[in-house]
Structure 1
Amino acid sequence: MKKILLSTAVIATVSMAGGEFSSFENSDATLSEIEALKARVVTLEGTQKKGDATGDDADLSKKIKKLEKNLKRMKKTLNKVKAHDAYDNIKFSMDFRSTVDNINYKYNDYKFKGADWSGTEAKNDALFTSRVMLNMKSKPTDKLSFQGQIAAYYTWGAHLFDSHDAPLKSWSGSSKASDTIFRVRRAYFVYNSDSFYAVSIGRRPSSDGFLSNFRENNPNPSSPLAHITNMEVDAAMVKLKTGDLVPGSYLKLVYGRAHAGGVESVYDGAGYKPFAHEDGDVDENVDFFVTVASLYNNGQYNLMAQHAVIFDTKGARTGTPIGAKFDPTDPNSATNKSLDAGTGHLTGLSLQVDGIGDEISDFLDDSIFFASVARTLYVPDGGHQLFGSEEDTIGYSGWVGLVIPDMITDDGKFGIEYNQGTQFWTPITWAEDTAIGSKLAVRGSAIEAYWNFNLFGEKNLPAQIRYTHAQHDYTPNIRCAGWVAPVETDIEADDIRLSVSYRY
Structure 2
Amino acid sequence: MKKLLLSSVLVASLFAMNSDSDINTKIQKLEKEIQTLKSELYKTQNKLNPIAANNHLFFSLDIRTTYDAIREKTTDGMGYTTIIPNPDGSVTFSGFNPNIPSKTYTNQIFTNRVILTGVAKPSDNLKATVRIEANNMFGMNSNNQYSPYNNISWVANETPDDINIRLKEAFFNYHFGPNNGLMFSAGRRPATEGFPANLRAGDDPNSPLAHLINMEFDGFSFEIGNDIFSTISDKFSDWGTWIKFCAGRGYSSSKGKWPYDGSPAYSKDNFKNTDFAGFILVPYDDGQYSLWTETVWAWNMKGYNFVTQQDAINAQNGLDFNASMQDLGNYFGFNTIFKADGIGDGISDFLDNTTAFISFALSKTNPKSGKQMLGSTDSKTGTSWWIGADMPGIGDNDRFGVNFVRGSKYWRSMTYGEDTLIGSIAAVRGKAYEVYYNAEIIPHLTAGLRATYIKYDYAGSDAFFGLAGNPDQQVYIEKASDIRAYIRYKF
Name 1:344's counterpart in structure 2.
331
- Give structure 1 stretches of 5+ with no counterpart: 1-14, 21-33, 46-55, 325-334
Query: Is 1:211 equivalent to 2:208 in the alignment?
Result: no
274 and 438 in structure 1: CA distance in 2 versus 1, 3 angstrom threshold: same
Q: Is the 8 A contact 2:301 2:465 kept in 1?
A: no
Q: Helix, strand or coil for the counterpart of 1:476?
A: coil
Q: Is the 8 A contact 2:451 2:482 kept in 1?
A: yes
Q: Could you tell me which of 7, 12, 18 is aligned with 1:43?
A: 18
CA shift digits 1:135-154 (9 cap, x unpaired): 11110112111112111111
Q: Could you tell me which of 267, 284, 296 is aligned with 2:272?
A: 284
Q: Percent identity?
A: 29
Q: Could you tell me which of 132, 137, 145 is aligned with 1:155?
A: 137
1:52-91 residue pairs with structure 2 within 5 A? Answer: 88-91=55-58
Query: Is 1:302 equivalent to 2:284 in the alignment?
Result: no
151 and 204 in structure 1: CA distance in 2 versus 1, 3 angstrom threshold: same
The structure with the larger Rg is 1
Q: CA deviation at 1:354?
A: 1.3
Q: Helix, strand or coil for the counterpart of 1:338?
A: strand
Q: Helix, strand or coil for the counterpart of 2:18?
A: helix
Query: Is 1:439 equivalent to 2:421 in the alignment?
Result: no
100 and 195 in structure 1: CA distance in 2 versus 1, 3 angstrom threshold: closer
State the one-letter code of the partner of 2:329: G
Q: Could you tell me which of 141, 159, 171 is aligned with 1:176?
A: 159
Q: CA deviation at 1:162?
A: 4.6
Partners in 2 of 1:160 and 1:208 — Cα distance? 27
474 and 36 in structure 1: CA distance in 2 versus 1, 3 angstrom threshold: closer
Q: Could you tell me which of 104, 120, 125 is aligned with 2:71?
A: 104
17 and 465 in structure 1: CA distance in 2 versus 1, 3 angstrom threshold: closer
Q: Could you tell me which of 458, 462, 479 is aligned with 2:463?
A: 479
Q: Helix, strand or coil for the counterpart of 1:452?
A: strand
Name 1:252's counterpart in structure 2.
244
Name 1:273's counterpart in structure 2.
264
1:86-235 residue pairs with structure 2 within 5 A? Answer: 88-113=55-80, 114-115=96-97, 119-159=101-141, 162=144, 165-193=148-176, 194-216=179-201, 218-235=202-219
Q: CA deviation at 1:104?
A: 1.0
Q: Helix, strand or coil for the counterpart of 1:139?
A: strand
Q: Is the 8 A contact 2:154 2:216 kept in 1?
A: yes
Q: Helix, strand or coil for the counterpart of 2:190?
A: coil
Partners in 1 of 2:118 and 2:311 — Cα distance? 44
In the superposition, the TM-score normalised over structure 2's length comes to 0.81
Q: CA deviation at 1:186?
A: 0.7
Partners in 2 of 1:306 and 1:35 — Cα distance? 61
Query: Is 1:264 equivalent to 2:255 in the alignment?
Result: yes
State the one-letter code of the partner of 1:198: M
Whose strand proportion is higher, 1 or 2? 2
**Higher RCO (Cα < 8 Å, 6 or more apart):** 2
- Give structure 2 stretches of 5+ with no counterpart: 81-95, 231-235, 313-321
Q: Is the 8 A contact 1:87 1:141 kept in 2?
A: no
State the one-letter code of the partner of 2:160: A
Q: CA deviation at 1:315?
A: 4.4
Partners in 1 of 2:423 and 2:127 — Cα distance? 34
Query: Is 1:410 equivalent to 2:396 in the alignment?
Result: yes
322 and 124 in structure 1: CA distance in 2 versus 1, 3 angstrom threshold: farther
- Paired residues in the alignment total 444
Q: CA deviation at 1:108?
A: 3.1
Partners in 1 of 2:142 and 2:53 — Cα distance? 40
Q: Helix, strand or coil for the counterpart of 1:263?
A: coil
Q: Is the 8 A contact 2:63 2:490 kept in 1?
A: yes
Partners in 2 of 1:86 and 1:350 — Cα distance? 42
Name 1:398's counterpart in structure 2.
385
Partners in 2 of 1:493 and 1:371 — Cα distance? 24
CA shift digits 1:357-416 (9 cap, x unpaired): 111011111222111000000111223221222221100000100222222x22222211
State the one-letter code of the partner of 1:393: K
Q: Is the 8 A contact 2:373 2:465 kept in 1?
A: no
Q: CA deviation at 1:242?
A: 2.5
Partners in 2 of 1:305 and 1:16 — Cα distance? 50
Q: Is the 8 A contact 2:183 2:222 kept in 1?
A: yes
CA shift digits 1:478-502 (9 cap, x unpaired): 2323333211657011111111111
118 and 459 in structure 1: CA distance in 2 versus 1, 3 angstrom threshold: farther
1:434-473 residue pairs with structure 2 within 5 A? Answer: 434-454=420-440, 457-473=441-457
Name 1:31's counterpart in structure 2.
none
Name 1:314's counterpart in structure 2.
302
Partners in 1 of 2:416 and 2:106 — Cα distance? 21
Q: Helix, strand or coil for the counterpart of 1:440?
A: coil
